[in-house]
């Protein structure tokens, strides 16, 4: 069974979503089943490495910090957009951040955190130098951004992922 359907939960969820988004019919069920099987086989071909968390208890703490930062950033970004004419000193820019995390799951998590936070976007990561290029909507002090990433996110990610 695992050879035919390597990721049964993924395939089942995709089929269910397909049927919810389209009108249920035999044809749609067959087409959705084919799409779900191909997606499951594709995921099986990727063979993701097993994830080992060293400190899973810190995930909740990271979620609270990220949630608070997203709320703050939403308010700050909205205020900057609404007062743009009165605030001509706002400058967008790119910050280069030398990262300490190297685990692929930790890098993916950091990318999600930074991109989900309004006013920032993960642009690129150079694996050779482990350098992150981050776009910031309101860049005042690049050193402050480097410290924020290192202290608020990276330190927890280093503890969470082995």
In order along its 162 residues, the chain shows pLDDT tens digits of 567 888 888 899 999 999 999 988 999 999 999 999 999 888 877 776 778 888 989 999 999 999 999 999 999 888 888 887 666 677 889 999 999 999 988 999 999 999 998 889 999 999 999 999 999 988 888 999 999 999 999 999 999 986
- Residues 13 and 113: their CA atoms lie apart, in Å, by 25
Of residues 62, 63, 64, the one with CA closest to residue 151: 62
Determine the pLDDT at residue 87: 66
- Residues 61 and 110: their CA atoms lie apart, in Å, by 15
pTM over 0.85: no
Q: How far apart are the first and last CA of the chain?
A: 32
| Residue 70: CB atoms within 10 Å | 14
- Residues 136 and 139: their CA atoms lie apart, in Å, by 6
């Amino acid at each position: 069974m695992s050879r035919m359907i390597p990721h049964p939960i993924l395939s089942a969820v995709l089929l269910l979503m397909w049927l919810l988004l389209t009108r249920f019919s035999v044809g749609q069920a067959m087409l959705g089943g084919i799409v779900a099987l191909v997606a499951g086989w594709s995921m099986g071909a990727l063979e993701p490495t097993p994830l080992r968390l060293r400190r899973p208890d810190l995930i909740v703490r990271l979620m609270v910090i990220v949630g608070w930062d997203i709320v703050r950033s939403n308010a700050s970004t909205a205020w900057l957009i609404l007062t743009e004419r009165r605030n001509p000193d706002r400058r967008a820019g790119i910050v280069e951040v030398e990262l300490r995390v190297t685990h692929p799951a930790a890098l993916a998590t950091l990318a999600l955190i930074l991109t989900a936070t309004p006013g920032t976007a993960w642009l690129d990561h150079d694996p050779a130098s482990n350098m992150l290029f981050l776009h910031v909507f309101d860049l005042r002090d690049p050193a402050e951004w480097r410290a924020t990433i290192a202290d608020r996110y990276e330190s927890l990610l280093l503890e969470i992922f082995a």
